Structure formats: structure tokens, C-alpha cells
Amino acid sequence: MQSLTLIIPLIWIACCVDETRAFLSRSPATPYSYSSTTACFRSESVRNGEVDADIIIIGGGLVGMATGVALVERGVSSIQVLEQAHALRRVGAAIGLYPNGLAALEYISPQVREQIQSKSSPCQVFERRDLQDKLIQKTDVPDIGATAPVMYAWFLLQQHFADSLPDNCLQLAHTLESYRILESGLVQVSCKRDNSIITKTCRLLIGTDGINSRVRRQLLGGQPNVEYYGKVMYRAVLDKQEVDTILDVPNGAQISWQGNEKGKSFSLRETTKGVITITAAAVQDYTAGSESRDRRKKDRLLGLFKEFPSPVKQIIDRLPNSIHEDFIRDVNIPEHWSGDGPVVILGDAAHAMTPHMGQGANMGLEDVCELVHRVIAADDITAALADFCECRLPRVKEVQDRSRENTLQSNTFDKQSASIPFERRKYSETFKDRLYKWMPPTDTR
């Protein structure tokens, strides 16, 4: 699950203003209306009991839900999204939807994109404070209106996608155990549900089950190579009315406290109307078993930020137990995301990256568009999956590399240097064009 870094550098807003303005100036797209589903996915096969669903998606995060929605929009209705959680919860924090991510959302579901545009709360000012809660710096964001990157609450976007799926499409409390490809070419999926093992059969298995993907593990024959970057991040959400009793958060403001230790900061902002997203970070090495659960997360967070001013500690004490704790890491990107059969991985399962370029979710949404475009037109699904990987591989590798650079630099920030813009590589206009001006493929009606 990826989110934007703590302090959104103004340089990134300036970089993509023109691209976002061009995107938003277009009329919202009208969803394609397909007269029939693709040759690979015939609804009669489900009615005849040949398969339980044409497509099974493992993982109900943003990418898994978005994949289901995009397929349904294009007439593939026999889909099951299997999610191991027992309920959708208010977890995670803010995600930044840049021009490429907004373009992907328009392809996936124009209705969801419009919901985000109407409910998001634009950032207008950055406030930086010290450990005495003294204002050090206040920076107004240029008045660029709807052309700024759109920040949104992760859990709300997940809910919008869930609401767009047909009844009984999302199935909670399903944990993947394994899958196997049958002689017929179908995929048999084994899941644990309520302490029982159940099996389902499909024509295509899509793994969107995140950085710890079980689909990837079986597909590629082992665990990914995980690289840790010496930083822990905590993300949570609170209703604005709860924060208002502690601290006045002006409309459109992001407030960040910078610690004396390098890489330590605590930030909050109203991301979606009435919702405050909170992100805290500290330099800390990962050790096996160091993740904590429930109340222990709050205790650990309070310990890390005990020298921070009273408003920070009061806010931490108000946080729900569903704090998201994450040691910043990425994984090696494999050369192949599919195999000899109809199984594929995408999103964090294929290319989890650090949050310091704000592109993790955007890359995942791009994956959805490129995969769905190929799936709905495929006569040979295995060839379509291979083509999808070949299309995506160079792009996600480059973005992951850039994000890694930014993460390593952010670990050196202290209260003196935090206000200095990232001294990133002087990204060329060619790179920015490739990143922000990406557009989804055009489907054939």
C-alpha cells in the first residue's frame, strides 16, 4: 500500500501543473459500451458450471478493486475479488494522484474520478514547526486551482471502488493458500475461509496481493528480494472534528513538525473533506519481528515522538488501533510477471516501491489500464499477459529507481535542511513528459 512522502515538495507540484491542467481541461470520458465480452471470457462457461468465475483477483486493495471495476465497465462481469481481511477498515493515509494516475482513473471509472475531484481538499499552505511548536516556515502553494495533484484518503478510494463492483463480487475473509493450472488450462485456486479450505476455478488469475504476494511467491518460485531503507513510517486517519479539539488545522493546510534527529517528522493535513490524514516517520533499522500490532503500535509511536510538542502526543493518543506501520522497503522487479499459464501479478506484487516519489499507487493504476486493455481483446491470454509485462517493465523500473534515490536523501533531513527542496537529479523534460503525460490505451468498442 503506497502513499506520498511526508512533506510534499513544491517542486513536484510545479512540475506537473501544466500536465494536470491539460488533463482536466478535457471532458470526462464516457465508458465504452461493449456488445459482448472477449472470446476468452464467455459468461455461458460460468452458467454451465465450467468455472466459478472467468477471472479471480487475489487482493482487494486499490489495484485489485480497480482491476475488477475496469473489467466490469468493459463487460466482463464474471469476476471475484478475494480479500483476506474480514472487513474494509479506515486504514492507510493519503495518496497523491498525479496526472498519470488521474488519467488511469478516467479509464478505470469516470464516476470514481469525479467523486475524487468533488471530495478532495486542495492543499493551499505548508506550515513547518519545531519541537517547541513554533512556526518556522509557512509557504503558500501557488493558486493553481484544480490543476494541483489530487490528494485523497486511501480508504475512501478503496470504498469507491468497492461500491462500483457488482453484488457478491468482493468476497472477504479469503486467504490464498495455493493455485494450480489444470490440464484444461483453467486455474484452480485454493483459499482458506473460516478455517476451511475451499477451491474455485477460473480462466485467469490476477495477483494484486501486495508486497508479500503469495501469487508472486508461487509464480516465481520463491520470496522476492526485499531492500529496507532504514526508516519506519506510520499512517493513520482521524475525523477533523477530533483533531480540532487539539489543534486548529486551517482549511487547505499541511502542518509538519521536524525533529532534531535526521529523517524524523510528523505531518497531518485535511486530505478529504472532514478527514485528517497523518504520517509520521523516523530513521530506524528493520529487524525481523519488529512489526507491532494494535495498541503496541501507539505505544511505540509515542515512544519515538516523546520529545515532540503536546499537540503531536495528544493526536497520537487519539489515533485508532488500526495504525498502519511500515518499514520503508521495495522489492526486486522480476523480468516476467506471468508464466506459461493464465496467471499474472501487478501493482506492489510486481514492483513495490518506496513512497518518496508519490508514484506507487499511480503505477499500480497504470498497470490496471494496460492489463485490462489487453485482456478484453485477447484471443491468446498467455500472449496478452507477456505483452503486458513487456510494456510495463522499463517504466516501473525507472520510477522505482528514482523513488529509491529520493528515499535515501529524505533520511538525511533534519530541521535545518527539511525546508530545502530535494536536490534530486535535474529531471529532464523528457523524463517528466514520460512520467506525467502517460495516457491509457484506447480500447476498441
Query: Which CATH number characterizes residue 262's domain?
Result: 3.50.50.60
How many residues appear in the chain?
445
pLDDT band (50, 70, 90) for residue 5: very low
- Flag whether pLDDT at 30 surpasses 60: no
Determine what percent of the chain is predicted with pLDDT higher than 90. Answer: 62
Most confident of 54-68, 240-254, 272-286: 54-68
Examine the pLDDT at 146 and tell me if it is beyond 70.
Answer: no
- Of the ranges 26-40, 131-145, 164-178, 221-235, the best mean pLDDT one: 164-178
Confidence of residue 378 (pLDDT cuts 50, 70, 90): very high
Mean pLDDT over 292-304 rounds to 80
pLDDT confidence of residue 403: 92
DSSP class per residue in 260-319: SSTT-EEEEEEEETTEEEEEEEEE----TT----THHHHHHHHHHTTTS-HHHHHHHHHS
For the whole model, what pTM was predicted?
A: 0.87
Using DSSP's 3-state secondary structure scheme, residue 178 falls into strand
* Coil, strand or helix at 238: strand
Read off the pLDDT band of 414 (50, 70, 90).
low
pLDDT tens track for 201-246: 999 999 999 999 999 999 999 999 999 999 999 999 999 999 999 9
- The reported pLDDT for the residue numbered 417 is 53
Whether residue 291 is predicted with pLDDT greater than 70 in this model: the reply is: no
Burial of 317 (0-12, 13-18, 19+ CB in 10 A): exposed
Structural domain contains residue 91: yes
pLDDT tens column, 48-97: 678 999 999 999 999 999 999 999 999 998 999 999 999 998 887 789 89
User: Rounded to whole angstroms, what are the CA distances from 138 to 123, 129, 135, 256?
Assistant: 13, 9, 7, 10
Fill in the amino acid letter for 23. Answer: F
Q: Is the pLDDT of residue 145 over 90?
A: no
Tell me the CA distances in angstroms from 99 to 18, 93, 316, one per residue in order: 9, 20, 33
Most confidently predicted of 86-100, 105-119, 311-325, 400-414:
105-119
In a domain, 254, yes or no: yes
Q: What pLDDT does 139 receive?
A: 86
Q: Is residue 2 a part of any domain in this protein? A: no
Q: Name the grid cell of 98.
A: 498525479
Start-to-end Cα distance in the chain: 33
- Residue 15 pLDDT greater than 70, yes or no: no
Burial of 439 (0-12, 13-18, 19+ CB in 10 A): middle
Distances (CA, A) of 87 to 197, 338, 395: 20, 29, 34
**Cell 486517519 sits at which residue?**
237
**What pLDDT does residue 80 have?**
98
* 24-37 average pLDDT score: 41
Is 441 within the bounds of a domain? no
Q: Does any domain span residue 3? A: no
- Number of separate domains in the chain: 1
Greater confidence (213 vs 324) lies with 213
Quick: pLDDT tens for 157-207. Answer: 999 999 999 999 999 999 999 999 999 999 999 999 999 999 999 999 999
**Is beta strand 196-207 parallel, antiparallel or unpaired with respect to 343-345?**
parallel
Domain region containing 102: 10-436
Mean pLDDT calculated for residue range 316-343: 92
Residue 277 lies in a domain: yes
- Average pLDDT estimate for 252-264: 89
18-42 mean pLDDT: 46
* 275 touches 237 (CB < 8 A): yes
Find the mean pLDDT for residues 331-357. 95
Considering the chain, what is the average pLDDT of its residues?
85
Q: Is the pLDDT of residue 12 over 70?
A: no
- Assign 340 a pLDDT band (cuts: 50, 70, 90): confident
pLDDT band at 411 (very low <50, low <70, confident <90, very high): confident
Q: Is residue 279 part of a domain?
A: yes
Q: What pLDDT is stored for residue 48 in this prediction?
A: 65
**pLDDT on residue 354:** 94
63 belongs to a structural domain = yes
The arithmetic mean of pLDDT across residues 366-381, rounded, is 96
Mean pLDDT of 26-46: 48
